[in-house]
Amino acid sequence: MANVYASSVFKPGIFQSKVVFCTGGAGTICRRQTEALVSLGANAAILGRKKEVTEKAAAEIQSLRKGSKVIGISADVRDLKSLQDAVALSVKELGRIDFVICGAAGNFIADFRHLSANAFKTVVDIDLIGSFNTVKAASSELIKNKGSVIFVSATLHYYGVQFQSHVGAAKAGIDALSNALAVELGPFGVRFNCIAPGPIDGTEGLARLLPDGAREQAIKAVPLQRLGSINDIADATVFLFSDAASFITGTVSVVDGGAWQTGQMQALAYPDTVLNSDKLWNKMKKAKL
């Protein structure tokens, strides 16, 4: 596979005998998070709604390290029973669960005037309720193994971001959930942290958020003058799951090159985009985005 995860920073085998349970594991960011952990010694279970896609991704991730075991499970994070069954299968096949990545997410561009109540609820159900269900299903394993959880959050609720009210609300809830669980399950030895990706190149989310021809302008709005990569998120994941972060819990690690501090990237072409949202909405419907 091209561009697989490789690191000169982290020691090989640091996650030997560990098992990661990752929702959304066939997606761009969460797949690379899983690839990093498997490359460094872990075994894994990745979850997704599309059975064939998820199983194919699992087989490809397994090929990254000789002797690794990676299973793909079809599950819907909105259904607690589905996740409980996935946890049971993971423990049966892999022996345990040490790390959980809550990465399943729904996103699309929609201004408030065109956003339906059902669409808003769908995103909250996948992102926030799905994160709750995932931890709920895996909680006994996490407590038994003094495990660690990473929620994939965002920076979209740090200030007003056009066309992202549904996602911003869901991610704000995830941050609050992580904080509460860090306090409640900390005495049992379980850690909870969030990673908030910023503009990550090569992801569907960034492609949807950037107006046509705005790539160079977006890069200029990032203080570090580049877009992020999925390896940037993977590196943060490795650190937070490693022993180097054993006293870190209840935090949000923003991995965005400082982009949210300027606020400019999310405001590209504002307010024209909002005032012309009817035209944009019709274009998206035609393209079936």
Q: Which of 90, 131, 148, 153 is catalytic?
A: 153
What would the pLDDT profile of 14-40 be if each residue is shown by its tens digit? 999 999 999 999 999 999 999 999 999
Distance CA 74, CA 61 (A): 16
Q: Which of 82, 148, 171, 277 is catalytic?
A: 171
Cβ-based neighbours of 52, under 8 Å, separated by 6 or more: none
Residue 267 confidence (pLDDT): 63
What would the pLDDT profile of 254-280 be if each residue is shown by its tens digit? 999 999 999 866 666 778 878 888 877
**For this structure, is 153 an active site residue?**
yes
**For this structure, is 139 an active site residue?**
no
Tell me the one-letter amino acid at 164. Q
Note the pTM of the prediction, 2 decimals. Answer: 0.93
Catalogue all structural domains in the chain, each as residue range(s) with its CATH number.
19-287 (3.40.50.720)
Tell me the one-letter amino acid at 181. L
Q: Which of 174, 160, 44, 39 minimizes the C-alpha distance to 106? A: 174
